[in-house]
Structure 1
Amino acid sequence: MGELSILELLERMEEIIENSKSIPFTSKVMVEKDELLEIIKEIRLLLPQELSQVKWAKEERRKILERAQKEAEAIINDAESKVKGLVDETEIVKLAEKRAEEIIQKAKEHAKEYRLMAQSYTIELLEQTKKTIENIVKELNDNIDQIRQKNS
């Protein structure tokens, strides 16, 4: 027999059994002993080879799964890094916006403070000018009164 697979050899054994002469009134059959023994011998020779192929396939599967797991972890780590970077950038933007709002608020407060100070200073200047003018007007009135008194 040529190089057959274990499944093909088992199928061959089934054929032999199915095509063998049956013993009347029983489920037993008469088979060619040497032919079946030869097939069993070939199966025994093929088993270690097929088992090592199965073992190799399992090992390859394990390696592939391991590689896939490592690649998946690398992708996840990279994605997490990018997300963290984006979050960090977002946090920086939020902090910058908050700081800008604080600066604007302080600027508004300072502007209001300066406006109030400017108004107070202007009022004070105007009041001093008013007093000065009132004093001048009083002096003018006094001078007019003195001149009138001298002429009367």
Structure 2
Amino acid sequence: MTEVERLLDCLEEEIRSGKKAVFAGSGLKQVDEFKCLEYINQIRNMLPSTLSEARVVLQDKNDILDNARGNANAIIADAQRQAQMLVNEHAIVAEANRAAEGIRNEAISYADRVVNDTYKYLCTMTDDAYNKLNEAVQAVIATRRDLDSKMR
């Protein structure tokens, strides 16, 4: 119990222990004025230092709360920055994957065209070779017939 609380208890006891005033209405009591005023003066003398201490404690509390709020806001801001960075990284990775898929599809399409063009070229070449060979065989057959007709 603090000294102020002790003095308040003493003042309260003095008031409660006072005798009822004669010919007074209800609730009026005779108290030792000197004692009551002495308690009040002692309390007043203590209050400034107690109030100053309370103000310091209150200011310390407010400073601690402000500091905690500042730290909390900094943590939240950092978390939001990190979350945004992850979102951006995810978007970059997703865009890179889309670009890679597009490049892959273009490469597959190009490879298919090259293979088809190569097959067409080979078909044309084999057709030309077949036709040339067929012409040569026909020329050989014609020459052979010509030779056979002259030899009999």
CA distance in 2, matches of 1:84, 1:49: 51
1:12 matched to 2:25? The reply is no
Q: Which amino acid aligns with 2:12?
A: E
Q: Which runs of 4+ in 1 moved over 4 A?
A: none
* 2:137 alignment partner in structure 1: 137
Shift of 1:113: 1.0
1:51, distance to aligned residue in structure 2 (A) = 1.9
Residue 121 of structure 1 corresponds to 121
Q: How far off is 1:95 after superposition?
A: 2.3
TM-score by length of 2: 0.88
Q: Report the Cα offset of residue 53 of structure 1.
A: 2.0
| Aligned amino acid, residue 118 of structure 1 | T
Greater CA drift, 44-53 or 116-125: 44-53
Aligned partners of 1:24 and 1:119: how far apart in 2? 131
- Offset, 1:24: 4.2
- 1:90 matched to 2:90? The reply is yes
Structure 1 match to 2:36: 36
* Rounded Cα–Cα distance in structure 1 between residues aligned with 2:87 and 2:31: 78
Q: Give SS of 2:3's match.
A: coil
Structure 1 residue 144 displacement after superposition: 2.5
How many angstroms apart in 1 are the aligned matches of 2:70 and 2:15?
A: 51
Segments of structure 1 that go 5 or more residues without pairing to the other structure are: none
> Residue 16 of structure 1 aligns to which amino acid in structure 2?
E
Shift of 1:145: 2.2
Q: Which amino acid aligns with 2:103?
A: I
Q: Report the CA distance between 1:89 and its aligned residue.
A: 2.2
For residues 28-107 of structure 1, what are the structure 2 equivalents within 5 Å?
A: 28-107=28-107
Q: CA RMSD in A?
A: 1.8
Q: C-alpha separation between the residues in 2 aligned to 1:90 and 1:68?
A: 32
Q: Tell me how far 1:50 sits from its aligned partner.
A: 2.1
- TM-score, normalising length from structure 1? 0.88
Query: How many residue pairs align between the two structures?
Result: 149
User: Percent identity of the aligned residues?
Assistant: 27
Equivalents in 1 of 2:108, 2:54: separation in Å? 79
CA distance in 2: counterparts of 1:73 and 1:29, whole angstroms: 59
Alpha-carbon distance between aligned partners in 1 of 2:99 and 2:28, rounded to the nearest angstrom: 96
Structure 1 CA distance, aligned partners of 2:96 and 2:84?
Answer: 18
